[in-house]
């Protein structure tokens, strides 16, 4: 069975600073995909970034990047130049060949002035 | 459509009533997923369709939960004889057929059982 662990229930960052959200996972599959989703109060899950496990290069999307450590089963999200609009719940998720997502419990990110 | 559409956005029902939640996926998306998100938790998988075929229903918590997608597009999640523990946000997501493609989520239906 797949499990995803987010050990930081809440994080805070000042505007324009950098913050890193942690995620570890466990899976028995050799081929899998990792995701970070953002959920604002409006409830809609918004894809932030996606990583294919077979790729060694860390994914980046503008101000968002990941540190993917496959041997350690770690998948952290770095947000650079934080903005007020980044405040939300962030969920780490894993999907194997069955495609269904297994989510962590989330990290609430606060952005302060 | 432009995105995944779910209705209703809010549903309040009395314990014991039946409810039906609707999901209209992104046009052309073959895969459709339902998740249940309890307050303060991450979403948990309920069931998965590929076109009209329900390929995985391992996450449905009891036989009171039933989902269908008869024409391979719109899906309905039905909960019979609702219980208080069914109170949650129900999220629908769709994706293209390829494994590992990102899922696109709707806004969810918040179900409250009184």
Give the three-state DSSP class for A99. coil
Q: Which chain B residues are closer than 8 Å to A100 by Cβ?
A: 33, 45, 48, 56, 59
Confirm or reject contact between A98 and chain B (CB < 8 A). yes
In chain A, residues with a C-beta closer than 8 Å to the C-beta of B93 are: 45, 101
Question: Where does the pLDDT of residue B99 fall: very low under 50, low under 70, confident under 90, or very high at 90 and above?
Answer: confident
Domain of B94, CATH number, reads 2.60.40.10
Domains annotated on chain A, with CATH: 3-112 (2.60.40.10)
Could you tell me which chain B residue has the CA closest to the CA of A6?
B42
Q: What is the CA angle A24-A71-A49, rounded to 5?
A: 50
Of A44, A101, A104, the CB nearest to B45: A101
Which tokens sit at B106?
């709707």
Residue B1 has a pLDDT of 52
Closest C-alpha to A4, from B91, B105, B45: B45
- Spatial distance between the Cα atoms of B61 and B46, rounded to a whole number of angstroms: 8
Taking only the tens place, the pLDDT of each residue in A94-113 is: 998 878 999 999 999 999 99
Q: What is the pLDDT of residues A6-35, one digit of tens each?
A: 999 999 999 999 999 999 999 988 889 999
List the domain range (segments joined by +) for residue B83. Answer: 5-113
């Amino acid at each position: 069975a797949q499990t995803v662990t987010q050990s930081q229930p809440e994080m805070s960052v000042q505007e324009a600073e950098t913050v890193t959200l942690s995620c570890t996972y466990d899976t028995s599959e050799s081929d899998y995909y990792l995701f970070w989703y953002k959920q604002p109060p409006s409830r809609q899950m918004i894809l932030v970034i996606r990583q294919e496990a077979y790729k060694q290069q860390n994914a980046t999307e503008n101000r968002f990047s990941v540190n993917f450590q496959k041997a350690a089963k770690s998948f952290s999200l770095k947000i650079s130049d934080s903005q007020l609009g980044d405040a939300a719940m962030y969920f780490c998720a894993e999907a194997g060949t069955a495609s269904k997502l297994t989510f962590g419990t989330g990290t609430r990110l606060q952005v302060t002035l | 459509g432009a995105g995944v559409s779910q209705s209703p956005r809010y549903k309040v029902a009395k314990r014991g009533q039946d409810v039906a939640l609707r999901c209209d996926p992104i046009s052309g998306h073959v895969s459709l997923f339902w998740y249940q998100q309890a307050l303060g938790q991450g979403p948990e998988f309920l069931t998965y369709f590929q076109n009209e075929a329900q390929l995985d229903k391992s996450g449905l918590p009891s036989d009171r939960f039933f989902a269908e997608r008869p024409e391979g597009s719109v899906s309905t999640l039905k909960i019979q004889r609702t219980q208080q523990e069914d109170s949650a946000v129900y999220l629908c997501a769709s994706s293209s057929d390829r494994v590992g493609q990102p899922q696109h989520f709707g806004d969810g239906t918040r179900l409250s059982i009184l």
